[in-house]
Amino acid sequence: MDTTKELPTVLSFCSGYGGIERGLDLAGFEHRVIAYVEIEAYAIALLVKKMEEGELSPAPIYTDIKTFPSEIFRGKVSLITGGYPCQGFSTAGQRKGDKDPRHLWPYIRRHIESIRPIQCLFENVQGHVALGLFSVISELESMCYRAAWGIFSAREVGAPHERERVFILSNSISERGEAWVSGQERPQKEGYTAITDNRSGQQCRWQEKMQWPPEPRLGRVVDGCPDRVDRIRLLGNGVVPQTAAKAWITLNKRMESLND
C-alpha cells in the first residue's frame, strides 16, 4: 500500500474477519480502515493477530456498536461497511426481523446520520430481501442516500457452495458526497477487467480467475483443531471476500447508470 497519498477511509461495522474489506482489496479499491467494531472475542483476536503480522494496518477495535462514539468520526469517513446480524432475517431462524434482540440496524442508522459517510456497503442474508430490506433502503433515502442492491452468491465467484447474500450500496447525494477522493488510472493487467468508479473516475480491477479459495477449507470432523467451534462460527457469519468484490464493482456500475 502506498502510504504517501491520501486514501479513502473505511469504518468497518460488525467486522468479523474483515471479509468485506478484503473484498475491497480484491476489487482494486485502495483504502485505509480507521476503526473496526466487533463484539466476538475470537474475531477480535484474529483481527489483532493480522495487525501484529502486518496483514492489516493498525486500527482501533471497538467492541460495542451501541456505544460507539460516532461523533468523533463525523466528516472523516469515506465508506462505512458492515455485515449486520442476519439472525432476525434468516430463513433458518424465527424471522422476527426488527423485533429480534440482535437487530443492530437502528444503531448503524444513527451512526450514519452522525458520521455522514460518502458511501455505505452492507451485507446480509438473502431472506433480508423479503423482510426488512426495503425499510433499510427507505431509511437510507430519507438520509439523502441513493441506494442499489443485488443478490450475489459464492458459487458465481468459484466456490463449491451457493451462499447467496444481499449487498446494499448507498451513495450520498449531499454536497459532501460529491467530494470523493480523486484516484489515478491504473494500468490494465492480464486477467483483470478495469471498471471505472462512478465518483472518482478511478479504475477498479476485478480478477476474472480466482487464485485462492473463496474461504478457508475447514472439515466438519476434525480432531485436535484448536478453536474449531469459533472458527466455524466465524466462517458461517463471515463474508466471502470474492463475493464482496463482485458486489462492490457491480453495484458501483449500477449506481453509475442511475446517475446518467
pLDDT at 6 over 50: yes
Percent of the chain with pLDDT over 70: 67
pLDDT of residue 163: 87
Taking only the tens place, the pLDDT of each residue in 71-117 is 999 999 999 999 887 555 554 454 555 566 567 899 999 999 999 99
What's the whole-number mean pLDDT along residues 144-152? 95
SS3 per residue for 166-219 = EEEEEEECCCHHHCCCCCCCCCCCCCEEEEECCCCCCEEEEECCCCCCCCCCCC
Please state the rounded mean pLDDT for residues 196-219.
43
**Whether pLDDT at 213 is above 80:** no
Comparison of pLDDT for 75 and 233, the residue scoring more: 75
Spatial distance between the Cα atoms of 76 and 81, rounded to a whole number of angstroms: 14
| Ramachandran class of 209: left when φ > 0, alpha when ψ lies in -120 to 50, beta otherwise | beta
Q: Examine the pLDDT at 128 and tell me if it is beyond 60.
A: yes
Whether 10 has a pLDDT exceeding 70, the answer reads yes
Q: Domains for the chain: give ranges and CATH numbers.
A: 9-259 (3.40.50.150)
pTM value surpassing 0.85: no
Identify the pLDDT of residue 159.
85
Q: What is the pLDDT of residue 162?
A: 87
Tell me what pLDDT residue 65 has: 94
Strands (E), the chain: 9-13, 32-37, 61-62, 79-82, 119-125, 145-153, 164-172, 192-196, 203-207
In this structure, of 41-45, 110-114, 237-241, the range with the lowest mean pLDDT score is 237-241
